[in-house]
Amino acid sequence: MKRCLVCVLFLLVLSGCTRQPPVITEQYIAGTVVTQTIPQGNNSQAEIKDAARQVTERLRELESYFSVTISASDISRLNQSHRTTLQPDTKLLLEKALSLADTSDGAFNPCLLPLIHTWNISSALTEDAVFAVPSPSQIEQAKQHCGYHSLQVNGSEAFLSDAQGGVDLGGIAKGYMADEAVSLYRQLGIENACISLGGNIYAIGHNQYGHPWNIAIQDPRAPHGASIGTISLTDKSVVTSGDYERYVEQDGIRYHHIIDPSTGSPARSGIMSVSVISEDSAKADALSTAAFVLGLKGGRALLEKEHCDFIIVTEDKKIHLSKGIQDTFQFTGKENGYDVVS
Ligand code: ADP
Ligand code: MG
């Protein structure tokens, strides 16, 4: 899973008065570090701690439905028996995943499990020792069972018509979880918060200094924590997909965890990372994965069509910004050889 790709920066703007620090909690959920940062202000510390606890519980509940590794999850049951009843959350997420698969012409594909197993994406991409590039025939064989039209949701049931097919929601589930966390904060009267699930961040309201949240965008070729710039964010999510989170380099080729469904292999699209900004984190999550697959031209066209702001970093170290982000992006990547080109 994506380790923290981007981190929240609290800009120490001179505010002239002492403020209480935000409540910060950290848990490991759905294979990633989940950090909640909630400023003290309109809410008491007890209310904030209770909200953080309830959000943690809710995220663990969602993990228990969506996980491919928890054997009793909806998705595991679907993959085992190819027909199963769904929790309402899983139904919503599968429907959303199918709709975003259509939107992206299949570049985002929730049915890639056979290829994910073939490439051993769940484990080997972090351990060079056990990684082996599959043969072309193994890739071709797995690819044939990855058509997302084999997945159907009907009422509260899901079906997989391909007996060798399988669902993996790793490219969208954390976005859905971020959306659900934010809706729970709002229900609980928490107006200011920032939640980070690995590379998925959702920031609502403002930070402890009363300013929009500042989010750093990870430099895809530098150690964790080094950034190419920051954006300021309120009531929106930013989701990053990159080739630097889980990968193995072999014979000069970087094998990472984002699969191009049309080739059956890790995407080689000239992109190092894509960050997508939207009020809908599940959509931003799926579209960041899709844009990574499609490359600069196709990715940009998709994100513009879907009215999402974006930061696309290509292998030539150029940073491509959507119009809506150009004024708020604070570029800091010059020393590391980056250039903003739009
Ligand atoms: P992360 O999992 O690091 O948040 P992404 O959101 O880009 O990164 O999703 C990558 C994950 O999604 C992979 O680990 C895999 O489980 C799954 N995946 C890989 N390629 C695709 C794809 N083309 N469409 C949908 N899901 C994908
Ligand atoms: Mg994604």
Classify residue 21 by its DSSP letter.
P
Query: Among the atoms of ligand 1, which is closest to the Cα of residue 245?
Result: 3
How many CA atoms, within 13 angstroms, populate the side-chain half-sphere of residue 302?
28
State if residue 266 touches ligand 1 by the CB under 6 angstroms criterion.
no
**Euclidean distance between CA atoms 182 and 150, whole angstroms:** 32
- From the CA of 146, the nearest ligand is 1
State if residue 228 touches ligand 1 by the CB under 6 angstroms criterion.
no
The predicted structure's pLDDT at residue 340: 98
The predicted structure's pLDDT at residue 18: 47
Q: Which residues does 133 contact at the CB level (< 8 Å), separation at least 6?
A: 250, 255
**Euclidean distance between CA atoms 105 and 286, whole angstroms:** 12
State if residue 243 touches ligand 1 by the CB under 6 angstroms criterion.
no
The packing angle between helices 45-66 and 74-81, to 10°, is 0
Ligand 1 centroid – CA 112 distance (Å) = 9
Task: Please count the residues of the chain.
Answer: 342
The predicted structure's pLDDT at residue 14: 36
For 257-291, the DSSP string reads: S-EETTTTEE--SSEEEEEEEES-HHHHHHHHHHH
Query: Among the atoms of ligand 1, which is closest to the Cα of residue 290?
Result: 23
Ligand 1 centroid – CA 174 distance (Å) = 10
The predicted structure's pLDDT at residue 127: 67
Residue with CA at minimum distance from ligand 1 atom 16 = 170
The predicted structure's pLDDT at residue 339: 98
The predicted structure's pLDDT at residue 3: 43
**Euclidean distance between CA atoms 262 and 69, whole angstroms:** 26
Q: Are 218 and 318 in contact (CB under 8 A)?
A: no
Residue with CA at minimum distance from ligand 1 atom 27 = 171
Q: What is the mean pLDDT of each run of 10 residues along the chain (342 residues)?
A: 40 46 96 96 92 98 97 97 98 98 98 96 72 93 98 98 97 98 98 95 96 97 95 98 89 92 97 98 98 98 98 98 96 97 83
pTM: 0.94
* Short-list 322, 31, 324, 18, CA closest to 173: 31
The predicted structure's pLDDT at residue 342: 72
Sheet order of strands, 157-160 included? 83-85, 157-160, 151-154
Ligand 2 centroid – CA 41 distance (Å) = 33
